[in-house]
Amino acid sequence: MDGIGEPTVPHQHPTDRMTITADLPISNTQVADSIASAVSEGLVSRRKWLPAWLFYDDEGSRLFDRITELPEYYLTRTERSILAARAGTIVGEAAQGELLRVVELGAGSADKTRLLLAAATARQGTVLYEPVDVSASALAEAKERIESEIPGVQVAPRVLDYTQGFELDPAVPGERRLVLYIGSSIGNFEPVEAARLLEGVYAGLAPGDTLLLGTDLVKDEATLLAAYNDAAGVTAAFNKNMLTRLNRELDADFDLDAFAHRAVWNTVHSRIEMHLESRIDQTVRLAVLDLDVDFAMGETIHTENSYKYLPGRPQAMIGAAGFSPIACWTDEQKRFAVSLGRVE
């Protein structure tokens, strides 16, 4: 989701494999176990961290939708402008005269995807769309909205943590897959893990299938920081909502006023980092885990990375994963890139 967290973790501590079944929600027990495991590991580490997928409870998802509409948050509208201008070309390049099936990793609300689905249905009449996400509720909402708004689209949602494996039913003869991984979600991964994820996607595809990768590009520091520290404080609320979730689900006693949202630009690693910084010396109790966590004033919980790429790097990434780079499109200001690669 546009560079603010999909189910990934700073420093890439693996999460449990989720269910790979269409239309079947992940059980509450699985979610609870994943939260307990990740929080137990992250908050006792020397440098504390929490997994970014904790952002996305119902309130976190609502807050993220607000973030994408903020004037400072250029990512969503910039990528949308590229897709709006190039959707027909992208679909044509991916299909190469065959029928096209569209898969989307970390689909969420699938807002920008509608541009590509509309282009696909204009080309071939009907299209099968397989959104992949860990949120069954988001997928259900996307299915209802897309099928009502774009006649000819059949939505077959997949509740799946694609970061732990890429596994889909084979396409039918005469059909090619276009896998969408947009929103610069790849930037939430450490470089080694990003490479592994792309290699996993490549391994799950057949010759002729394609990957469309959306990536945020390096730009001036002020623009980057503003996008993750907006004047209205929505991103701060989004970051702190993670603590609200732990209070609710792990019977913790985080005082949200005792933590501050921090977004910093790490020049060495070419990434924005999001942190929650303790304003005071304090101890937090997580009753469900029977865990007490001490915080020194100024100590942080690292909640997300968002890597920004130099021009040419996205094509190199998909090439290293095995894809043949086909094309790369950017906006006029070269803030964002959308790259297409094919399995030969």
- Give residue-wise pLDDT tens across range 119-159: 999 999 999 999 988 777 778 888 999 999 999 999 999 88
- What six digits make up the tokens of 263? 């977004």
Has residue 18 got a pLDDT over 80? no
Distances (CA, A) of 76 to 66, 141, 215, 268, 291: 11, 19, 11, 25, 39
Has residue 15 got a pLDDT over 50? no
- Among positive and negative, which fits the CA dihedral 257, 294, 244, 188? positive
Count of other CB atoms within 10 angstroms of residue 231: 9
Report pLDDT for 124: 96
Amino acid at 189: F
Question: Which is it for strands 271-278 and 282-286: parallel, antiparallel or unpaired?
Answer: unpaired
Where do the H-state alpha helices sit in the chain? 28-43, 58-67, 74-95, 113-124, 136-149, 191-203, 221-227, 234-249, 313-320
Distance CA 93, CA 102 (A): 13
Count of other CB atoms within 10 angstroms of residue 294: 11
- Average pLDDT over the chain reads 89
Instruction: Map out the domains of the chain as residue ranges.
Output: 1-344
Amino acid at 323: F
Q: Is 206 left (phi over 0), alpha (psi -120 to 50) or beta?
A: beta
Report pLDDT for 160: 79
Has residue 17 got a pLDDT over 80? no
Best CATH choice for the domain 1-344 from the list 3.40.50.1240, 3.50.50.60, 3.20.20.240, 3.40.50.150 = 3.40.50.150
Has residue 7 got a pLDDT over 60? no
Instruction: State in Å, rounded, how far the first CA of the chain is from the last one.
Output: 28
Report pLDDT for 3: 55
- Give residue-wise pLDDT tens across range 236-260: 999 999 999 999 999 999 999 999 9
Q: Quick one: which of 216, 143, 138 has its CA closest to 182?
A: 216
- List residues bridging with 133 in a β-sheet: 159
